[in-house]
Chain A
């Protein structure tokens, strides 16, 4: 059984807990040095997205394996308002006024894989993965 962890996101301090857990788990998966910082930063962005837009949600972190390679999968889930236009939200510099508009597109650049599923009025799930080199 590969490791995993869950962090409930309800206040800004939880963002720090999520990225610290993410860093620990990524180290267990075999990531080192700057990759740990990239992963922690991406977690910080998507966890903050939960606080800003949905007020609460959960970030789960998983060590994963594919074709002999290890990696981490991070899933951020909320039951918030959802994102009406994902393409627009993923564009650099697009912002609803609550941020720089770099959070989501930035997190995508920091990771290898990035998916958003969002339904207006139901919530948003972001799944991102990064593989060891």
Chain B
């Protein structure tokens, strides 16, 4: 099942479902990259709060996605990693170095808004 993507102002929100497959994640890479261009979005929040497992494939795919979107001019926040999932990721040796993370979707949107505003100031 494809990951639903919502557009809210200049921000895109992708909410991953519990049973997201490898194929869905690869599709999400293409969809988000496409929409960032189409809607000229400067920020993306990927809500992973429904995921009960973030294994090496999911983590690598999301990290690559965040880095690719950055190259396209959009900031990405990964929001809602569950506490047990976070511990399992640490045990596996998985990190999201250099990627913005937030407690939940609400915090993710706040962080993204603040990050984008800061970016505007540094330019102006």
Could you tell me which A residues sit within 8 Å of B by CB distance? 12-13, 15-16, 19-20, 23, 33-34, 36-38, 40-41, 44-45, 48, 51, 92, 99-100, 102-103, 105-107, 109-110
Contact = CB atoms under 8 A, between A and B. Distances in A.
A34 B88 CA distance: 8
B81 to A, nearest CB: 11
A109 B22 CA distance: 23
Contacts, number: 75
B66 to A, nearest CB: 15
Contacts of B85: 37, 41
Contact of B56 (A12, A33, A36, A103): A103
A100 B55 CA distance: 11
A99 B88 contact: no
Contact of A37 (B53, B56, B57, B60): B53
A38 B55 contact: no
Given A102-B94, A109-B91, A37 B55 contact: no
B39 interface: no
Contacts of A51: 22
A106 to B, nearest CB: 4
A15 B19 CA distance: 10
